[in-house]
Structure 1
Amino acid sequence: MDILGKVNKVPGGIMVVPMIITALINTFIPAVLKIGGPTTAAFSGAGAMATIGMLLFVAGSQTKYSDLGAVCARGGLLVVVRLAVAFTGAWLTLKFFGIGGICGASALAITISLASCNPGVYAGLMQSYGDNVDKAAMGVLNLIAVPATPLVILGIADGTGFDYMSAVASLVPFVLGMVLANSDEKIRKLFSTATPVVLFFLGCCLGASINLRALSQAGAANIVLIGLIVCVFLPIMITADKLILRRPGYAAVAATCLGGLSVVAPRIIGERLPQYQPYVESATAQMAVTLVFCIFVFPYITKFVVGKFGSGVVTDKTN
């Protein structure tokens, strides 16, 4: 029975398929994932940050010092463009529509949709389509994959600022893996095949935080949010990747996918910025629906872009 072969036919399948399975379990029989012990630690949201840390370490172990410039250039551009679009979107929403936003999509929901990235999905897709530099760029993207990013973007000067420790915490596993592997080539070789294993468990952990019933709550607000991401944000990211970095654009698509922490971001921001509290509940539901859409659709958009413009495996010889 060729299970792995069938899984690999799905874009980013080594992570997406386990994610779908645990999402189904969490939707219909969530108690199965909450029995405690190793089961809960390995196959529920409780293990998400641990597996992300492992993935960052493995990505660092495959990064040579000579690749750092390219890693910062690729990952840095995607981060800068993402933040610029998010700032612009938040400013335009507040200026022309106010805090309530448009069609039920509040400024809170719009800002989180544009600012929250998904390093896990990015890593899964780069495992299928990217080169080593693309994979290592996850370490840069992870710097903004925190609720502090939309909090800062909303521009409320209440002394919160940027959570520098979140950035440091994201960099430590990556840097540790890079330093060890560059000090001993055997360490690089040891972890060279570890990425698919970690991605499998990361998919399980991320899927266990998704409730597919959220799809039934989709409305006009989600059409606005998904439209902004797919019809406005995504073309900007692809254009920047192709024109500035001269890349095929697949990494830009993967980096545009909404992050899992977007679901908890409204509550965190509402606690820090009381003026957004009335919109926390609706924004949380909207993020859940948009997240489910992005996680299932973006792998296929990435596959389409790869088919049209090529992948890192093809273009790596020219970089």
Structure 2
Amino acid sequence: MDILGKVNKVPGGIMVVPMLITAVINTFAPGALKIGGPVTGAFSGYGAMAFIGALLFTAGSQAKYSDLRLICSRGGVLVVVRLLVAYIGSWLTIKFFGLDGFCGVSAMAITILLANCNPGVYMGLMQSYGDNVDKAAMGIINLIAVPATPLVILGIADGTGFDYMSAVSTLVPFTLGLVLANADEKIRKMFSTATPVVLMFVGACLGASINMKAIANVGVAEVILIAIHVFVFLPIMIAADKIILRRPGYAAVAATCLGGFAVVAPRFIGESLPQYAPYVETVTAQMAVVLVVSIIVYPYITKWIVSKFGSGAQPAQPAAK
């Protein structure tokens, strides 16, 4: 039974398939993932950050000092463009429509939609389509995966500061892997095959926070948010990747997928900025819908971009005769 072969036929399948499995379990039998012990630690949202830390370490272990410029440029451009678009979108919404926004889409929803990313999906897709620089760029991209990012964008007018510890907590495991592997090549080789294993658990943990029933709650506001994300924001990200970085665009698509912290961000923002508290419940439900759609759709968009413009992955070598 070729289970792994079938999983690998799904774009980013080594991460996406476990995520969908635990999402289904969480939707119909959530208690099964919360029985405690190793099950809860390895297959629920409680273990997500630990496995993401391990993923950052393995990403760093496969990077070389000579690649750092490329890593920072590829990841940095995608992060800067994303933050710039998120700020412009947030500012325009507030300026012309106020905090309530339009058609049920609030300024909070727009900001979270544009400022959040999914490093797990990104890494899963780079495992299939990216090169070592793309994979290591996760250390940069992960900087904006935290709920603090949309909070800072929304709170600029209120003088809200940047959460430096979020950045430090991302860079420490990545840097540790980078330094150790460059000091000892045997460490690099030891972790060279670790990424798929860690990705499987990252996917399982992230999926345990997803409720698939959110799809049934699609309304006008959710359709607008999905349309903005796919038909407005995504083309901007692809254009930045192709025009600025001269790359095929697959990494930009993978880095645009909405992340699980988008569902956490509304409450985080509401507790820090009281003026946004009335929107917390509505935006949380909206982000859940967009998240489910994103993790299903974006891997296939990435695969389509690869089929049109190519990827960074090395082609398989023909077997020796």
Q: So what's the TM-score if we normalise by structure 2?
A: 0.97
Aligned ranges 1:137-286 → 2 under 5 Å: 137-286=137-286
How large is the Cα RMSD of the aligned pairs?
Answer: 1.0
| Residues 1:31 and 2:31 aligned together | yes
Where 1:92 maps in the other structure, the secondary structure is helix
How far apart in 1 are the matches of 2:178 and 2:82? 26
Where 2:313 maps in the other structure, the secondary structure is helix
How far apart in 2 are the matches of 1:205 and 1:237? 27
AA in 1 matched with 2:287? M
Identical pairs, percent: 76
Aligned position for 1:55:
55
Cα shift at 1:155 = 3.4
AA in 1 matched with 2:264? V
Aligned position for 2:5:
5
Aligned position for 2:14:
14
Aligned position for 1:118:
118
Aligned position for 1:292:
292
Cα shift at 1:277 = 0.8
How far apart in 1 are the matches of 2:248 and 2:124? 17
How far apart in 1 are the matches of 2:93 and 2:279? 14
How far apart in 2 are the matches of 1:271 and 1:55? 30
Aligned ranges 1:295-310 → 2 under 5 Å: 295-310=295-310
Aligned ranges 1:128-143 → 2 under 5 Å: 128-143=128-143
AA in 2 matched with 1:12? G
Cα shift at 1:149 = 0.6
Where 1:279 maps in the other structure, the secondary structure is helix
- Equivalent pair of 2:131/2:314 in contact (CA under 8 Å): no
AA in 2 matched with 1:97? F
How far apart in 2 are the matches of 1:194 and 1:125? 15
Aligned position for 2:318:
none
- Equivalent pair of 2:18/2:200 in contact (CA under 8 Å): yes
AA in 2 matched with 1:196? P
How far apart in 1 are the matches of 2:166 and 2:26? 28
AA in 1 matched with 2:177? G
Aligned ranges 1:88-103 → 2 under 5 Å: 88-103=88-103
Count of aligned pairs? 315
- Write out per-residue CA displacement over residues 60-95 of structure 1, whole angstroms, 9 at most, x where no aligned residue: 000000000000000000000000100010011011
Cα shift at 1:314 = 5.4
| Residues 1:40 and 2:40 aligned together | yes
Cα shift at 1:160 = 3.3
Cα shift at 1:154 = 1.0
- Write out per-residue CA displacement over residues 217-241 of structure 1, whole angstroms, 9 at most, x where no aligned residue: 1111111111111011100000010
Cα shift at 1:157 = 4.5
How far apart in 1 are the matches of 2:291 and 2:253? 15
- In structure 2, the gaps of 5 or more residues are 316-321
AA in 2 matched with 1:41? G
Cα shift at 1:102 = 1.1
How far apart in 2 are the matches of 1:158 and 1:84? 18
How far apart in 2 are the matches of 1:106 and 1:115? 14
How far apart in 2 are the matches of 1:131 and 1:143? 20
How far apart in 1 are the matches of 2:156 and 2:114? 17
- Write out per-residue CA displacement over residues 133-186 of structure 1, whole angstroms, 9 at most, x where no aligned residue: 000000001111111110111134445311001100000000000000000000
- In structure 1, the gaps of 5 or more residues are none
